[in-house]
Structure 1
Amino acid sequence: MSMDVTFDKLLLEATDFLFQGDLNKARSKIDKALARKPGEPRALTLLANILNSQKDHTGASAIYNQLLREFPDEPALHFRLGCEYLHMGELSIGFEEVAQACGLDPENEEWAIFRSLVGTEIGFMQDTDIPEDVLEGDLLELYKKVVTYVRENSVSDGEKIQVNTGEIVTGGEFFKNSTEGDVLVKHIESGFDWPRIPAPDELQKPVDLPPELPEKPAHPDVFEINMNSYGSFAFSPLFLKLPLEVTWFLRENNLLCWFMDFNVSVATQRFRGNVTEKPLADTVLGRLLECKGRGSVLLQPQPEHKFFGFDIDNTPLYIREELIVSFQGNLKWENGWLRGDDRKLAMISFRGRGKVFIQLKGPLYSVEMPDEELILAPIDRLVGWDGYVVAQYQTSSTIHAAGKGHILLTR
């Protein structure tokens, strides 16, 4: 295979212009290079650096995600992706990527220091005595940006008030005054770290419980949970631990307990991009709450139910409203209906990049849509669908679906 001298020349020129701070010329050169070799890793990495310098962190993160699909074990890509997410205020996802980079390259002291400082600041790690001035340059500036973001979005110590739809109060006061369902709160000692939810691009099965716990409980129904444990999320069929430095929506009657405090308001229904004044509520799960603060919340499923989780990456996801337990606040979502002749089924659609959790009594079946054929299923078994699927009532008790994606069913 012959060398492409022009490509190499464009790559060098783009690097020189980036070093000189001439971002427009650097971008022009790298665009020409990528026109000759689309998807070439060195050129994509350089383009991500240019976008970072232009403060286009969304564009840079998209490139690093693309590169990680080809090089999933490259620590530098995980670290840079984590930094881009931190720039965007996506602290939880950013910290996960930085931590993964440190796991792949445990001898990188600068990354380890940065992880410790950021993890301490956002409440994912124990306090550290490492001074921030050991960081230099861009990492120091990014850490200061994280500190500012956390300070500006932390829970205030202002007056706590009775909650009404649209008002914001602290979580402790909300549940003290709540009348819709009892909330079980108990103190949990440190114990076993549950596995974190993975972060690939498509529909995910829940993380199975390990066959043997590191510390066997005295009773099979006793679970020891460390609220200060490492990791942004804890996920099993029997509980969820969610960090609240970013916004989460969650059902009030699934709450088991919380660590520290948070702001809470009652979420209202959304139709066609418009926010209504009607609370989104269910007779079993209670109201949907919009929560943000410092610390974590622990959620439990309803009796005889188990949690299931989805990670979506700009692929549409539609779920029956009554099954939804929690989802990340950065997702775009709205209410809708699956209509039939004599009934309608409340649904919620999700778009964007983030996590959605549901609860079911039975297993979850993800059935890939066949090419150019319909799938028919009893309406009572429908959980939802992902991808570009069109679902309609066939009869009052049956739906048919077609398109590209998966239909989600239970029994």
Structure 2
Amino acid sequence: MEPAAKSLTEFALGCMLEPEERAATLSCTDEGHLLVRVAGETMTRTDGLLVCTENLVVRPLARRMQGRVVPEVFARLAALEGDGYLVLAHQGERFHVVDLEGDLCFFVEPYLWAMDAGLLWDVGVVPGTRRDRPIPLVRAAGEGMLAFRVPGRLVAIKVADDRPIRIARDRLVGWVGAVVPRADPEGPFLRCEGEGAVLVWFPRAPADGSSAPS
């Protein structure tokens, strides 16, 4: 005998989104979407917005370079103020949420999705790319969380003084530690040296098991 169907009220209560119960300012829903809780101020993109409480104010965010505000609007991130939340769709990609815990890190700007307002940050480019297809960077440090989204599998590659690595420039997501990436003038690669870990993304294998495109 099949169990009796739930009432619509019971069904709604059973699948209700309750962001107030989540202590973290940034987290992922069971489906992999990004949940951003705003209590005061936070910085986030609004691409793929699914749900947003109306008691939030969005204002442009000025870019910072070398610790100073510059007269240029951050095209991707905006400042949200108020007390509420929003949910951003993964759009077929994967969100990752990390707590910096005082670490200094760098992220390629298009992959960065949200940051706690208390983090110290500024922008720049990967050395050697300013003239030819610049790779924009966001440097973040301090205590707080940030979220980024990648289209494939995220992998960390160890870099050591005696073991520099070379990666495809369009796979770089970011790095942590004393890593120094530089554009390779001989091809579409970045040479990374120093001490730390580089974050890159690998393409996913196709569902039918055929060879994956590059």
Q: Secondary structure at the match of 1:364?
A: strand
- Range 242-251 or range 320-329, more displaced: 242-251
The question of whether the paired residues in 2 share the 8 Å contact of 1:260 and 1:296 is answered with: no
1:254 to 23, 48, 55: 48
Hey, what does 1:410 align to over in structure 2? 201
Hey, what does 1:235 align to over in structure 2? 28
The question of whether the paired residues in 2 share the 8 Å contact of 1:375 and 1:402 is answered with: yes
Instruction: Give the structure, 1 or 2, with the largest relative contact order (CA under 8 Å, sep 6 or more).
Output: 2
Hey, what does 1:351 align to over in structure 2? 141
TM-fit CA distance, 1:190 = 4.3
Hey, what does 1:312 align to over in structure 2? 100
The question of whether the paired residues in 1 share the 8 Å contact of 2:19 and 2:37 is answered with: no
Hey, what does 1:195 align to over in structure 2? none
Distance change in 2, residues 1:243/1:379 (3 Å): same
TM-fit CA distance, 1:227 = 2.9
Hey, what does 1:139 align to over in structure 2? none
**TM-score with structure 2 setting the length:** 0.79
Hey, what does 1:397 align to over in structure 2? 188
User: Which structure 1 segments of 5+ residues have no match?
Assistant: 1-188, 192-223, 282-286
- The CA distance in 1 between the partners of 2:19 and 2:107, in whole Å, is 32
Q: Secondary structure at the match of 2:110?
A: helix
Q: Report the residue type matching 1:382 in the other structure.
A: L
Divergent runs of 4+, >3 A = none
TM-fit CA distance, 1:229 = 5.0
The question of whether the paired residues in 2 share the 8 Å contact of 1:317 and 1:386 is answered with: yes
Distance change in 2, residues 1:377/1:329 (3 Å): same
Task: Judging by fraction of residues, say which structure has more helix.
Answer: 1
Distance change in 2, residues 1:299/1:404 (3 Å): same
**TM-score with structure 1 setting the length:** 0.42
Name which one, 1 or 2, has greater alpha-carbon Rg.
Answer: 1
- The CA distance in 2 between the partners of 1:264 and 1:407, in whole Å, is 33
Hey, what does 2:109 align to over in structure 1? 321
- The CA distance in 1 between the partners of 2:86 and 2:67, in whole Å, is 29
Distance change in 2, residues 1:228/1:382 (3 Å): closer
> Following superposition of structure 1 onto structure 2, how do residues 186-265 of structure 1 map, counting pairs within 5 Å?
189-191=12-14, 224-228=15-19, 230-233=21-24, 234-236=27-29, 238-265=32-59
Q: Deviations over 1:218-267 (max 9, x none)?
A: xxxxxx45135512234246212222113211112232212351222111
- The CA distance in 2 between the partners of 1:317 and 1:326, in whole Å, is 14
Q: Secondary structure at the match of 1:245?
A: strand
Distance change in 2, residues 1:312/1:228 (3 Å): closer
1:266 paired with 2:57, answer no
Distance change in 2, residues 1:342/1:264 (3 Å): closer
- The CA distance in 2 between the partners of 1:228 and 1:373, in whole Å, is 44
The question of whether the paired residues in 2 share the 8 Å contact of 1:232 and 1:242 is answered with: no
Percent sequence identity is: 22
Aligned-residue RMSD, C-alpha: 1.9
Q: Deviations over 1:44-88 (max 9, x none)?
A: xxxxxxxxxxxxxxxxxxxxxxxxxxxxxxxxxxxxxxxxxxxxx
- The CA distance in 1 between the partners of 2:167 and 2:44, in whole Å, is 29
User: Which structure 2 segments of 5+ residues have no match?
Assistant: 1-11, 203-214
> What is the count of residue pairs matched by the alignment?
185
Q: Secondary structure at the match of 2:170?
A: helix
